[in-house]
Structure 1
Amino acid sequence: MTGHDRADAGDLARRLAEQAEAVCRYYLSAGRRHGKYWLVGDVRNTPGRSMYVRLHGPSEGRGAAGRWADAASGEYGDLLDVIRESCGLLDFRDVADEARAFLSLSRPEPRPVSHADHPANGRGSAGYAEAVRRLWSMTYPLAGTLAATYLRHRDLKRFPGVSALRFHPTCYYRPDDDGPTEVWPALIAAVTDLDGTLTGVHRTWLAADGHGKAPVDVPRRALGDLLGHAVRFGVASDVLAAGEGIETVLSLRQVLPDLPLAACLSAGHLATMVFPPLLRRLYVVRDDDPAGDHALETLSGRARDAGIDLIALSPRLADFNDDLRHLGPAALRAILHPQLAPQDVARFLETAHV
């Protein structure tokens, strides 16, 4: 690619990003919109949900609109890459011609976006930040709520000092198909950066009795800036355990209450987590699937480059919550014991009281 081509590519990518949703609807038609992302199986337009395209954001830099990543394959790029791969093009000039043709098409405006996807008080990152703050301000402490009932139903009972989880009794749920808005109780988790600043929220809509998730198509959704951030339990210094799901990570807290934990909410976000500056040992709570394997591989390389010792923690059953529920706390302690560094056994496991 010549210098002129590179400049042309940058301009085309920015113009495509301004119409990111229209690009996705046209070239990634097997996917669907989910909040501020477009979800699809991969960049070649395979049905699925492992690839996500950011639909809104700044024109460049962190969180830019049009940037995408595939949690299963580790691929990432911009909307020119989407055009290249989905159309099977090899030469940049062909990709550029296709992009120009798309940008010159006469087509209707994208359909109106629901309130759930575009906060009414502003567009882009500022609007989402305000929506996050507003939702969090409407929540209640966990104790005695349906959210606590839901967690206890998963054998998650240790909550002292847990401020990252709260309860919303009437949280709006808006289906992706523009169906009528529903109201369900919800477990709300705070997504924060390393300084503890709120950057996003994660919602788990709950059944009316708290014994399971609500009967909706997508009972878990996140809102806000997630990349690099996490739902945090404890303050990490030199040691941290990180995984994808909140319930999986909380399962470790039941037997390792003093070990700092981070739930990154997806394999892709786990792979891109920001390391605490003093971190020297990172435990990765494995999910046994291709996306989880890729996240572990990516983190291993990043940790090695940063001089951080990485240790994978593997459950006996499908995940650590299954270990906790079906085998019990004592068995979970026994499963974790040989996987921990000896100094962490003395520091976190032997001092824990189940």
Structure 2
Amino acid sequence: MKKVKHDIKFFLTNPSFVKWINNSNEESDYYWKKWIESHPEDRSAFYAAKAIVERMDFKVARVTGEDKERILENILKEEGSEHYTEVPQRKYQLVKFRKQITQIAATAAILFGLAYYFIEQTYINHTEQEVSKVYQVTRQTERGQQKKIILPDGTSVLMNASTSLTYSSDFGREKREVVLNGEAYFDVTHNPDVEFIVKSGNISTVVHGTAFNVYAYPNEEVINVALERGSVAIHGNEGLHEDPVFIRPGEKLAVTGNLSNSVKSKFNYIEEFGWKERVLVFKDSGINEFINKLERWYNVDISVVGSSDEDWKINGLFKKQGLENVLEGLEFARKVKYTVKEDKVIIYTSVSN
């Protein structure tokens, strides 16, 4: 069944819409958010009407929020909107206040004319005004912290430690694009009309609705994209006209530098997604990777005293374990020593180990 496209007048003559703009709450915010998600063809009229109601501040006349609703109510009466039901008045009240009602009706007619003049002027400049309001939003986590956020389109993002996610304030209107530095798990709201893009380093992961993990810390050479369900296409960002790489559930792509240097493989779920459940995993990790992960995970600074063998291959799985337990495992496996003082860790090692 084809959806009916609504115009600006539909929203301006909808009392619940006007009341939401003037006096929003959690319930009405949720309702209108879901409404516009279900009617993407009405976004232009929706936001134009929203801008009109928001700008009716009447600063010179010092009209209050209640006055504003009453004025708009009069406009609705004049239009005879199907969304407006007038409460019947007692007969003696109508007789007693006949003169006052006539005056109010005249005032309403004047306000109606002024409102539609205002609508016309606002609509002409609407696109320019909306563009000028666009700004960048950045959400981030610190070391030792994880955070779950919900994007404007309903997409759920779980951010690992030391991660930032940046997106435009008009996210979801015409495009859904985020820039990731760090690691995050995305459960993307399905939308066949607007693709979802995650830019990380030199690659972009493009989807319409799926669940996947991206590991892209700026100080590490390799970017990993692991797909839990759905499908994704991974593109290069360097203008090399490379063909995108597609991966299926249970596969991951490891990219070193650019897309031409990538390796597709199967993955172990715990290794790629275990961090969501506070499982710290090391798989053939060198000393630098080991230190970087511990610093992010436990919010500590680690230094190494002595020479270290860059060919170290550290393996281990620590589920909700403290820092001391992880260091004890390293001490046993590599015969090293360590000290911990507040948020400072020193590892004593040598190439002979």
Interval of TM-score (by shorter of Structure 1 and Structure 2): under 0.3
Greater strand content: 2
Q: Which has the larger radius of gyration?
A: 2
TM superposition score normalised by structure 1: 0.28
TM superposition score normalised by structure 2: 0.28
